[in-house]
Chain A
């Protein structure tokens, strides 16, 4: 279809179908995650999800057969631009969209794609990620959760940790050691199962930001039907790594894409004021902000370029580590500058003042950015080996 026609039709459709309440800046609490347990915050949020899902536009790049929009790279760009034009919120966000979906598209059987992908696209099933274990973080391939073949199913026993939203999710994609006699990387399988299966339990962990978004997750002889394996037995590590490249892209781009950026400069002026020459009355902070602002312009340009590259059908592969490293290190600086500018106002933790201490909480939460999805050190090691081909 001619791209200009697509643009005008998209614009008209969004105008007609995007509820007014879905055109305002959103906070973390306003995200629509979908799933069996999800409670919509407003009728508009539910309606917006439904109309977008019906068009396949919760996952515009996926094939139509799997609940997607089947849009070309150019059309995806137009849709994004047109949504941004009216400040439309993303109708649905989820680990299914960001992580499991791309992995299933790549490695799933036709039945699996037809079964799981439309559920993700419609926001019916919410997924969580069972990768990390107490003894296997950066060294993920050292994981020990067992999956024993009992003939008609795998029996899964072990413990995961840092499982984000495990208590809110419906299903889990989980790395399990099914081939104990194989080497570390070739003994792992990629399983999918219902969190309501007998033997699954979760225990929330509280973060320094006060929130409790993740859990310890325990499996006690959980029965997983054999057709719920993705790929072949022992192929789990390949799938896991592929999925991680998508997770890292998402985390790297997240802070620019997900939430409306607070205006650092404006906040600093109102908290600190200007000196006689019109400069922020804190030269050290100002200098640091200057470097940050230039770096932010730079990273935004890089994200933009990378987006075009990916929409043209390229995979980032190991270079997802580059995006993740740059984006998360930058976000930590952003949040640190924000609280430094806010001074004692941003020490507020509870109560109605200062948005309930949001700046302090965001600042603390951002410290996890360079850990979750693989630490900065691990990103640099990946790049030095996979991209720079350095030895060892």
Chain B
């Protein structure tokens, strides 16, 4: 479907991801986790680390594979298609990117741990129902010579299983990225099961004592790290969403080829054919955009922010189209829990909110163009 020509390495990653996830961590496994009430699937971590995926974007010098974002996107797409629950996006991508680009000994040590699957680290940045990472009321303050962190974060993905949280906070006018132990005094976690049967939580920080060394980056440096992290997370989230949308579309095309009504296959009805073909075109072009965004991250070129935001915005629309059309074209059976479509729709919805929806990123594009 994508017109992209992958390198040999990339093709290898894509093939092994497809095989590995389908065989042991496919949709049946997801349903089993859901039944068992496991919303984090920590058990998959050693396997992902073994294959190097937890360190896919972490440089080799820090124990990662250093294969980059395009390769990571190929994995994410398969995670989406298989609805695999894992800390890949939160820990390997978001935290991996933040820690590897922040530099400093402590950050590097945690990056190493992520890469070998010894730790899960996640981001705590949203503070309200919509993703607005620039609106921060969480603060680092100094009282009697000691630093404390106070504030409230929401939609902290994998917050319930994380060994460390990377928290965005303000110190005066400066942005800070603070590495916090969720077991520390003053941290309260409340993890919830979300509609996609994954965990995300609220974390409250009440005058949590922190050390100067816990501040991974501050000021301009912190802004750069956060920008890189967000771009990476958005492109990878879009890639996961792409996998979901493709899977939903493929199941739908197959249904159109097999379901009969009025004595004929419903795929013969042009009203459905044209909508299916339109969806196909949209999926093809958004595949290219996501690939371009991930390549831009690997090249670290000037288009990174535009392409990653556009990819996230466009994928939100195409993901919705794919899952909604999927349910609709299945008729009544599309509404049942027995079919995968509903599961795709729910995960798609959650990923749209994660790291900013279509409106949020489209607004940025408009501002960028001066309107």
Question: Which residues does A use to contact B, with CB under 8 Å?
Answer: 265-266, 268-269, 274, 278-280, 286, 289-291, 293-295, 297-299, 301-302, 304-306, 308-309, 312, 319, 322, 325-326, 377, 379-381, 383-385, 387-392
Contact = CB atoms under 8 A, between A and B. Distances in A.
A390 B5 contact: no
B274 A302 contact: no
B277 A383 contact: yes
A309 B264 CA distance: 38
Contact of B257 (A279, A301, A389): A389
Given A309-B5, A388-B277, A298 B362 contact: no
Nearest to A379: B277
Interface of B: 2-5, 253, 256-257, 264-265, 267-268, 270, 272-274, 276-278, 280-281, 284-286, 288-289, 291-293, 306-307, 310-311, 313-314, 317, 358, 361-363, 365-367, 369-371
A290 B362 contact: yes
29 contacts: A266-B370, A289-B366, A290-B362, A294-B310, A294-B313, A294-B362, A295-B314, A297-B365, A298-B286, A301-B291, A301-B293, A302-B289, A304-B288, A305-B3, A305-B4, A306-B3, A309-B3, A326-B285, A380-B273, A380-B274, A383-B277, A384-B273, A384-B277, A387-B277, A388-B256, A390-B268, A390-B276, A391-B256, A392-B267
| Interface SS majority for chain A | helix
Q: Is the interface of B mostly helix, strand, loop or mixed?
A: helix
A290 B365 contact: yes
Nearest to A308: B5
Given A298-B285, A384-B273, A390-B268, 8 more contacts: A265-B366, A293-B362, A294-B313, A325-B278, A325-B281, A381-B277, A383-B281, A390-B257
Contact of A280 (B5, B280, B286, B371): B371
A319 B284 CA distance: 10
A274 B362 contact: no
Contact of B371 (A268, A309, A381, A390): A268
Contacts of B5: 308-309, 312
Given A265-B371, A290-B365, A305 B291 contact: yes
B213 to A, nearest CB: 40
A94 B310 CA distance: 34
Contacts of B268: 390-392
A379 B278 CA distance: 10
Contacts of A383: 277, 280-281
A281 to B, nearest CB: 10
Contacts of B286: 298
B298 to A, nearest CB: 15
Nearest to B273: A384
B365 A294 contact: yes
B244 to A, nearest CB: 18
Contacts of A306: 3, 288
A297 B274 contact: no
B288 A298 contact: yes
A294 B370 CA distance: 15
B257 A297 contact: no
Contacts of A269: 370-371
**Max chain B Cβ within 10 angstroms of own Cβ: one of A268, A319, A322, A381:** A322
10 A-B pairs closest in CB distance: A392-B268, A384-B273, A265-B369, A302-B288, A390-B267, A302-B285, A290-B362, A383-B277, A305-B288, A301-B292
Contacts of A297: 289, 306-307, 310, 314, 365
A305 B273 contact: no
Contacts of B256: 388, 390-391
Contacts of A385: 273
A268 to B, nearest CB: 6
A139 B3 CA distance: 29
B320 to A, nearest CB: 13
A316 to B, nearest CB: 8
Contacts of A388: 253, 256, 273, 276-277, 280
Given A302-B3, A384-B274, A390 B253 contact: yes
A380 B277 contact: yes
Q: Which one of B274, B311, B369 has the highest number of Cβ atoms from chain A below 10 Å of its Cβ?
A: B369
A381 B270 contact: yes
A230 B39 CA distance: 64
Contacts of B267: 384, 390-392
Contacts of A265: 366, 369-371
A286 B363 CA distance: 9
